[in-house]
Structure 1
Amino acid sequence: MYIIPAIDIKDGNCVRLQKGDYNTVKKVAENPYITAKSFKDAGARYLHMVDLDGAKDGKMQNAELICDIAKSCGMLVDVGGGIRDLKAIEFYLNNGVNQVVLGSVAVKNPQIVIDAVKNFGDKIIVGIDAMDGMVKSEGWIDGSDIYYTELAKRMEDVGVEKFIFTDINRDGMLTGPNLVQLEVLSNSVSADIVASGGVSDLTDIKDLMSLNIFGAICGKSIYEGTLNLPKAIKLTRG
């Protein structure tokens, strides 16, 4: 399992939210470039980035900054937030980003995912963001009537090979990942699963390792100091 540090960008700053609530925005680092370097120096191979302004507004807002970090950080970067068409996907993939995360369009316009997989293959990740098992979109503002495992099965059927699953209720709360829903998801599809939301410490990392999933995204736990990133990386891939 890989430890995947996270950098969320809002208004050009490195921030964190609680449960996706934009009213809880908190700046957690002075410089996203230095933050990315610290993750690389700790041994991270992957970096997860989110354009929070893009997620909310439905269009790329911090793309230049994100691409500049992706080109310079020396890690494999995936990015999500505001990616709603093939042009946006192509822009990121041509400018230093390794994979793109599609969330809202998987719910509202799945044809874009179908076309994206056809054009870009395993460069496409689908982000499944759920509250009480039900998928949400548009920066976690809009609800849906789609259960998270149903969306995963639909997306796997069109060729998606990796999912990032976020339990919104746990995101940024340091209360532990939703192991039950993650295990159900892992058993429902054969695609790679990346856990997001709730990771607090090495105990959570060990619990996730027992699920045999691809990776765990860690954000607030690193910034708050409850998770020692080098130790976590050594535990999982060292």
Structure 2
Amino acid sequence: MILYPAIDLKDGQAVRLLHGEMASATVFNDDPAAQARAFVAAGCEWVHLVDLNGAFAGAPVNAGAVEAILAAVDVPCQLGGGIRDMATIEAWLGKGLARVILGTVAVEDPDLVRQAARAFPGQVAVGIDARGGRVATRGWAEETDVMAPDLARRFEDAGVAAIVYTDIDRDGAMGGPNVEATAALARAVSIPVIASGGVSSLSDLERLKATGVIAGAISGRALYDGAIDLGAALAALR
């Protein structure tokens, strides 16, 4: 199971939100590229990036910070937030991102996801963010009637590289991930599923790994707060 340290970008800074609320942002580093270098120095194999402003704006906002991170590290990076058309997908992948994460458009324009996955094999993931099992879009501001497993199944044969599943109610709350819902989603599809939201201890990571069906986990606040030692966690997961 791969551990993805997270850098959430708001106004050019590395922050963490509580339950996805922009007003609850805590700034952890005003130099996101330095933060990325620190994660890589600890041994991470990937870095997970989110353009929080972009998720609300519907277009990239923190491009400068993302580009600085890409220039600073030599491990693959994946990015979500505000990526809603083919031109943006092409632009980001052309700048060196290893993978883009498509969330809102997975609900609103699923054909774009399929088109992108065909055009860029292995470089397109679907982000499924759910509150009470129901998918939320546009920076989690809008809740839909679509259930997370139903959305995942729509892309079963699309060739997407992964599904990043976020339980919004757990995100940033340091209360542990929704292991049961994430594992159920992973069993519902053949696409690799990455857990996000609430991963706050080494035991959380071990529980996710023990399911045998979850391919990765994203952690942010716990790494910044020191609740998870990244080097130790990476060693344990190997």
Question: Is TM more than 0.5 here?
Answer: yes
In structure 1, the residue matched to 2:179 is 179
Superposed CA deviations along residues 49-104 of structure 1, whole A, max 9, x for unmatched, are 00001001111111232023123211110000000001101111011110000000
Could you say what secondary structure the match of 1:152 adopts?
helix
Q: Which moved more, 1:223-232 or 1:69-78?
A: 69-78
> 1:5 Cα deviation (Å)?
0.2
In structure 2, the residue matched to 1:233 is 234
> 1:194 Cα deviation (Å)?
0.5
Q: Give the conservation status (yes or no) of the 8 Å contact 1:99–1:123.
A: yes
Output aligned runs, 1:77-226, within 5 Å.
Answer: 77-212=77-212, 213-226=214-227
Q: How many residues align?
A: 237
Q: Which moved more, 1:28-37 or 1:119-128?
A: 28-37
Q: Give the conservation status (yes or no) of the 8 Å contact 2:3–2:46.
A: yes
Q: Which moved more, 1:77-86 or 1:117-126?
A: 117-126
Q: Give the conservation status (yes or no) of the 8 Å contact 1:60–1:82.
A: yes
Could you say what secondary structure the match of 1:216 adopts?
strand
Normalising by structure 1, we get a TM-score of 0.97
> 1:156 Cα deviation (Å)?
1.8
> 1:158 Cα deviation (Å)?
2.3
Distance in structure 2 (CA, Å) of the matches to 1:50 and 1:69: 12
In the alignment, structure 2 segments of 5+ residues that lack a partner are none
Q: Give the conservation status (yes or no) of the 8 Å contact 1:19–1:172.
A: yes
> 1:154 Cα deviation (Å)?
0.3
Q: What percentage of residue pairs aligned between the two structures are identical? A: 40
In structure 2, the residue matched to 1:36 is 36
In structure 2, the residue matched to 1:70 is 70
Superposed CA deviations along residues 93-142 of structure 1, whole A, max 9, x for unmatched, are 01111000000000011111011112112100000000010000000001
> 1:28 Cα deviation (Å)?
1.0
> 1:13 Cα deviation (Å)?
0.7
Distance in structure 1 (CA, Å) of the matches to 2:74 and 2:160: 25
Could you say what secondary structure the match of 2:60 adopts?
coil
Could you say what secondary structure the match of 1:90 adopts?
helix
Could you say what secondary structure the match of 1:144 adopts?
strand
Amino acid at match of 1:148: A
Distance in structure 2 (CA, Å) of the matches to 1:211 and 1:101: 24
Distance in structure 2 (CA, Å) of the matches to 1:89 and 1:60: 10
Amino acid at match of 1:77: C
Superposed CA deviations along residues 6-64 of structure 1, whole A, max 9, x for unmatched, are 00111101111001011101101131111111100100010000000100111111123
Distance in structure 2 (CA, Å) of the matches to 1:175 and 1:198: 5
Amino acid at match of 2:181: Q
Distance in structure 1 (CA, Å) of the matches to 2:108 and 2:118: 18
Could you say what secondary structure the match of 2:137 adopts?
coil
Normalising by structure 2, we get a TM-score of 0.97
Amino acid at match of 2:211: L
Amino acid at match of 1:217: I
Distance in structure 1 (CA, Å) of the matches to 2:98 and 2:20: 24
Output aligned runs, 1:13-32, within 5 Å.
Answer: 13-32=13-32
Amino acid at match of 2:45: R
How large is the RMSD of aligned CA atoms in angstroms? Answer: 0.9
Q: Which moved more, 1:76-85 or 1:117-126?
A: 117-126
